[in-house]
């Protein structure tokens, strides 16, 4: 009963209805603005006026109005820089000479376009046959043949889902880091925990805190995921592609939620135990250790470009990375049922061990004031058993 009471308290400590409604309203407003942004940008962007001194046909570049002028008008065009023209482009000995009144960011956009245009002009002047020029101008064609229909489209969509899952996990992990670090170090400094531990056990207190903050992290992930989904829908509808359907089944989604939830409990258990050992967050050099749980996300991110590979296979079974790797692997390939069960059992066993280890560290750290426990004592408590200081 105490466990659930503490969990509800920790969840409601950060969950405010009014704030949630305002956040959702702001997200919807952002969605509308982002959807309309391409139209607004096109409408507001200036069309820069370019004078091109060349007899060859001028290229068409979005955002620029390029006019061809004869060579004898170059001096006149140069004298009109800043008033009539934004840029005067001359070709001298196969070299582009671009003259502007001053440096500007838009010049970086037009430079490679003009280089490509000049390169094509140079190729067209070579004594090549029409067929040879066509070969030089175009890249070799490639053709990938898939036995399963629509597999290329599905692969892109699955990569998008995997990337989205990793981003959401990052949001959940960093949310837990912030809330756990602030809550525990503040309560320790104000001696709040010391008073509470006269009424409840250390295990009940840390378990309730881990559960409540993990639920709030999960809520943040679901809210952000919903916003991203709506944004994708808006982009899809704007492009006339109809409703976007996530390439993931209900079973895979439930599996992802299960692994992510266990992963959040795992990470927040580590954070809760270690945060209790920090006496003053403003001066402790140990705060950097709190970023350690982000390492599994980085490792999975480095391997997600090959979801079918051996590395991803191992990461989806290893309990410290499976909470991130298994949902991504399931979004891309078919996973044997026994691997899914083995991965889940290993993750639960690791969570059970880490939660007990974190409870011991929490109990050690929360009762020490004025100094932080030594690393040797910390490791002994974390790995083996409760140590009385």
Position 255 pLDDT exceeds 90: no
Position 157 pLDDT exceeds 90: no
Averaged pLDDT, 361-386: 74
Name the region of 295 (left: φ>0; alpha: ψ -120 to 50; beta: rest). alpha
Residue 270 CA to residue 359 CA, distance in Å, equals 9
Position 222 pLDDT exceeds 90: no
pLDDT tens-place string over residues 227-236: 888 888 777 7
List, in order, residues 6 or more apart from 160 with CB less than 8 Å away: none
Residue with the bigger pLDDT between 150 and 200: it is: 200
The pLDDT of residue 369 is 66
The pLDDT of residue 150 is 61
The pLDDT of residue 152 is 58
Q: Are strands 64-69 and 87-91 parallel, antiparallel or unpaired?
A: unpaired
pLDDT tens-place string over residues 11-43: 777 777 777 777 777 777 777 776 776 677 667
- Phi–psi pair at 102, nearest 5 degrees: -155, 165
Band of residue 148 on the pLDDT scale cut at 50, 70, 90: low
Residue 279 CA to residue 281 CA, distance in Å, equals 7
List, in order, residues 6 or more apart from 38 with CB less than 8 Å away: 238
The pLDDT of residue 343 is 92
Position 143 pLDDT exceeds 80: no
Residue 237 contacts residue 301 (beta carbons within 8 Å): no
- Phi–psi pair at 90, nearest 5 degrees: -125, 150
The pLDDT of residue 306 is 75
Position 328 pLDDT exceeds 90: no
Position 116 pLDDT exceeds 80: yes
The pLDDT of residue 42 is 67
The pLDDT of residue 32 is 77
Using alpha carbons only, give the angle 48, 49, 54 rounded to the nearest 5 degrees: 130
- Measured from the Cβ of residue 275, the count of other Cβ atoms closer than 10 Å reads 29
């Amino acid at each position: 009963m105490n466990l659930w009471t503490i969990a509800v308290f920790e969840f409601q400590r950060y969950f405010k209805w009014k704030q949630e409604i305002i956040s959702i309203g702001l997200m919807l407003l952002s969605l509308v603005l982002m959807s309309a942004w391409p139209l607004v940008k096109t409408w507001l962007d200036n069309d820069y006026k370019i004078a091109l001194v060349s007899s060859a046909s001028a290229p068409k570049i979005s955002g620029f109005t390029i006019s061809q002028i004869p060579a004898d008008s170059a001096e006149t065009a140069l004298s009109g820089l800043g008033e009539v023209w934004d840029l005067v482009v001359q070709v001298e000995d196969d070299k582009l000479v671009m003259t502007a009144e001053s440096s500007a960011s838009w010049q970086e956009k037009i430079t490679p376009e003009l280089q490509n245009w000049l390169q094509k002009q140079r190729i067209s002047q070579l004594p090549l046959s029409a067929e040879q020029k066509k070969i030089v101008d175009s890249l070799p064609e490639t053709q990938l043949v898939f036995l399963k229909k629509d597999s290329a489209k599905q692969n892109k969509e699955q990569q998008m889902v995997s990337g989205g899952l990793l981003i959401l996990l990052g949001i959940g992990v960093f949310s837990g880091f912030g809330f756990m670090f602030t809550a525990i170090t503040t309560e320790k400094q104000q001696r709040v925990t010391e008073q509470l531990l006269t009424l409840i056990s250390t295990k009940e207190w840390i378990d309730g805190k881990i559960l409540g903050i993990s639920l709030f992290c999960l809520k943040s992930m679901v809210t952000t995921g919903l916003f991203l989904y709506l944004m994708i829908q808006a982009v899809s509808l704007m492009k006339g592609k109809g409703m976007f359907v996530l390439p993931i089944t209900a079973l895979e989604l439930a599996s992802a939620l299960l692994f992510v939830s266990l992963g959040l409990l795992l990470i927040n258990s580590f954070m809760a135990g270690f945060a209790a050992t920090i006496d003053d967050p403003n001066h402790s050099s140990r705060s950097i250790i709190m970023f350690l749980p982000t390492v599994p996300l980085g490792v999975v991110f480095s391997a997600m470009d090959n979801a079918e590979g051996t590395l991803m296979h191992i990461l989806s079974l290893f309990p410290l990375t499976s909470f991130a790797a298994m949902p991504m692997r399931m979004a891309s390939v078919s996973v044997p049922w026994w691997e899914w069960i083995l991965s889940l059992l290993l993750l639960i066993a690791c969570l059970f061990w880490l939660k007990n280890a974190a409870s011991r560290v929490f109990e050690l750290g929360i009762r020490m004031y004025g100094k932080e426990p030594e690393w040797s004592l910390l490791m002994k408590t974390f790995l083996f058993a409760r140590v009385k200081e």
